[in-house]
Amino acid sequence: MKKIISGKVREVYETGESQLAIVATDRISAFDVILDSVIKDKGVALTQISNFWFDYTRAIVPNHILSANPAGLPQPCQKRTVLVKKLNMLPYEFIVRGYMFGSLWKEYQAAGSYNGNKYQLAEKLSEPVLTPAAKNSAGHDENISMEKLRQDLGPDETEKIYKISFALYETCAAHALQKGIILVDAKFEFGYDGDGTLTLGDEICTPDSSRFWAAEDYRTGISPKCFDKQFVRDWLTDNGLDGVEPGPALPKDIVHTTEGLYRECFRRLTGKNEY
């Protein structure tokens, strides 16, 4: 296999003309910086959660998975590796947000309202919103307007992706809530396969690409208990280390707690106790 991409978390290998092998590592990044710590079995958790969702949502949109259990690999590698179709990826991320949190909260604080409404931190929005971003390999992704997206992709394709993104979010959010988890927001990425079919790629509703809150602890006005990287982001921010390069090492207790959060997220969403 030929390595073609080494990302913040994933290693991507070319396995044929139209196929790739994606391996999720135990690296962790925050604020677009790879930290000097690893989270044990994080890559396994990401892969297994994403595989669950790809299967759960395949009636909504085709996805890139060819095999979730690639043959010929050692068992530990199988659990963190998927064989996928090569896609011509769109250079955008499509983030559906259902709650006033993260960058949306920062926008709200600057403007004093959002879409004419007043909110508290972590409050559920009157309806979910889509906030597209242009991917930037050299730095932070750049938020763009829906009008800019329509200019780039055309109104019909934009509307198609818009509807699919909301269907994915609402479907995953409903399942998660049944399992005691609130899906706060979710990032989706799409591309076109060799036949030109719009296809869901990358990952879907993992602790790295979404925010998850414990439903039993949820209330507005606070940063609720989470099952994602927000715990790490908060520690970095509280210690003035957000965005600092090279990425700092995390304290052992933060690493241990984060391992447990990923494991609990997997257990609740999939109903399985072991990866």
Q: Is residue 173 part of a domain?
A: yes
Q: What local confidence, expressed as pLDDT, does residue 164 receive?
A: 98
Give the CA-trace dihedral at 162, 205, 244, 104, to 10 degrees.
40
**What's the confidence (pLDDT) of residue 138?**
58
The domain tally of the chain equals 2
And the tokens for 42?
């994080």
What does pLDDT average to in each consecutive run of 10 residues of the chain (275 residues)?
88 91 94 93 96 98 93 76 96 97 93 94 96 78 90 96 98 98 97 97 95 94 87 92 94 94 95 92
Within this chain, do residues 72 and 203 fall inside the same structural domain, yes or no?
no
The per-residue pLDDT for 32 is 85
CATH number at residue 47: 3.30.200.20
The pTM assigned to this predicted structure is 0.92
Please state, in angstroms and rounded to a whole number, the distance separating the CA atoms of residues 192 and 108: 35
Write the CB contacts of 135 (distance below 8 Å, at least 6 apart in sequence): 91, 92, 93, 141
- Lookup result for tokens 């600092």: 244
Say if 264 falls within a structural domain: no
62 shares its domain with 103: no
Q: For residue 177, what are the CA distances in angstroms to 58, 155, 157, 169, 204?
A: 20, 33, 30, 12, 16
Looking at residue 178, which CATH number applies to its domain? Answer: 3.30.470.20
Q: Using CA atoms, how far apart are residues 203 and 144, in angstroms rounded to an integer?
A: 21
**Same domain flag for 97 and 81:** no
Q: Are residues 217 and 179 located together in one domain of the fold?
A: yes
Does 223 reside within a domain?
Answer: yes
> Do residues 150 and 127 both lie within one domain?
yes
230, 149: one domain: yes
Distance CA 44, CA 270 (A): 13
Rounded distance between C-alpha atoms, residue 144 and residue 154, angstroms:
15
Q: Which of 68, 85, 102 is the last residue of a domain?
A: 85
CB 134: neighbour CB atoms within 10 A?
15
Q: How many residues does the chain have?
A: 275
Is residue 249, in this structure, part of any structural domain at all? Answer: no
Question: What integer pLDDT is reported at residue 264 of this predicted model?
Answer: 94
Domain limit, last residue, from 22, 52, 85: 85
Whether 227 and 96 share a structural domain: yes
User: What does the pLDDT read at residue 1?
Assistant: 76
Residue 242 counted as domain residue = no
* Distance separating alpha carbons of residues 118 and 255, to the nearest angstrom: 36
* Domain region containing 193: 88-234
In a domain? residue 19: yes
Do 189 and 202 contact (CB within 8 A), yes or no?
Answer: yes
Q: Is the Cβ–Cβ distance between 184 and 99 less than 8 Å?
A: yes
Residue 124 domain-assigned? yes
In terms of Cα–Cα distance, which of 13, 43, 44 is closest to 28?
43
Residues 199 and 105 in one domain: yes
User: How do 181-192 and 88-89 pair as beta strands?
Assistant: antiparallel
Phi, psi of 5, rounded to the nearest 5 degrees: -145, 135
Q: Indicate whether 218 and 98 sit together in one domain.
A: yes
Select from 268, 206, 207, 260 the least CA-distant residue to 51.
Answer: 206
CA separation, residue 145 to residues 70, 102, 130 (Å) = 39, 18, 10
Q: Report yes or no on 20 lying in a domain.
A: yes
* Pair (98, 226) in one structural domain: yes
Out of 46, 61, 85, pick the residue that ends a domain.
85
Q: What six digits make up the tokens of 115?
A: 């879409």
Q: Are residues 184 and 206 in the same domain?
A: yes
- pLDDT number for residue 74: 65
Burial of 152 by CB count in 10 Å (0-12 exposed, 13-18 middle, 19+ buried)? Answer: middle
Looking at the structure, do residues 135 and 70 belong to the same domain, yes or no?
A: no
